[in-house]
Amino acid sequence: MYQISLTHTNQGEVLQNFRDFLQEKQEFTCEILFPADFAMSKTIRDMIGEIFDRYDISKQWRGRFILISDELVNNSIEHGSHEGDENMCKISAGINDEGKFFIQFEVHDNGGEENFEAVKQELEEAQECIEKPGEIYMEKRGRGLFMITKKLVDRIQFTKSEKGGLAVKIKKTIDPEK
């Protein structure tokens, strides 16, 4: 698995190395370690953009997926991290046997001060409420994740992170012809 650390690195150099890596691959998985700092979300957005450009996926889907991944990264920093923590995201992408582009993006945080099971239950309840026709989840802030992803990804999953907090994984398959 290709590993990238965004800690103490030149972001332009990281992007160029990532572009070079993508050119060699039909399908790949990479792991990105990043400081729990909102400035890191720009580099991750740029990397997502490079993936969509490499596989010649429409600008519309490129923009949508950048929006979703940005929301996930920022949520991991805001809700699941302390200053100085290092979070992680994993990206897998390529062309499947049917000739369709697939991407899986997951973000792992350290858990902040939250209890994993309580957070997972709250997220699942919010997701269920959002998915019910005619119901609006107005309990508290945080429904943006579900509103953004509801119609844009094929699957969203919450699990315990390898880093001790929450891991959020999304999957999407796109027909490049459309």
Tell me: the pLDDT tens digits for 24-35? 888 999 999 999
For the ranges 34-43, 60-69, 85-94, 141-150, the lowest mean pLDDT is seen at 141-150
In whole angstroms, give the CA distance from residue 96 to residue 91.
Answer: 15
User: pLDDT (tens digit, 9 = 90+) per residue, 38-62?
Assistant: 999 999 999 999 999 999 999 999 9
Predicted local distance difference test score (pLDDT) of residue 137: 46
Beta bridge partners of 2: 30
The per-residue b/e assignment along 85-103, b for 16 or more CB within 10 angstroms, e otherwise, is bbbbbbbebbeeeeeebbb
The topology (CATH level 3) of 2-112+153-174 is Heat Shock Protein 90 (3.30.565)
Report which of 43, 38, 42 is spatially closest to residue 5, judged by C-alpha positions.
Answer: 43
SS3 (DSSP) at 37 = coil
Predicted local distance difference test score (pLDDT) of residue 89: 97
Other residues' Cβ atoms within 10 Å of the Cβ of residue 18 = 20
Which token pair is 163? Answer: 């880093």
Other residues' Cβ atoms within 10 Å of the Cβ of residue 33 = 16
Q: If you average pLDDT over every residue of the chain, what do you get?
A: 86
Report which of 91, 107, 106 is spatially closest to residue 29, judged by C-alpha positions.
Answer: 91
Predicted local distance difference test score (pLDDT) of residue 28: 97
Residue 127 parent element (H or E): helix 116-131
**HSE-CB for 129 with a 13 A CA cutoff:** 16
Name the pairing type of β-strands 27-35 and 86-95: antiparallel
Predicted local distance difference test score (pLDDT) of residue 159: 87
Domain regions of the chain by residue span: 2-112+153-174
Q: Tell me the percentage of the chain whose pLDDT exceeds 70.
A: 81
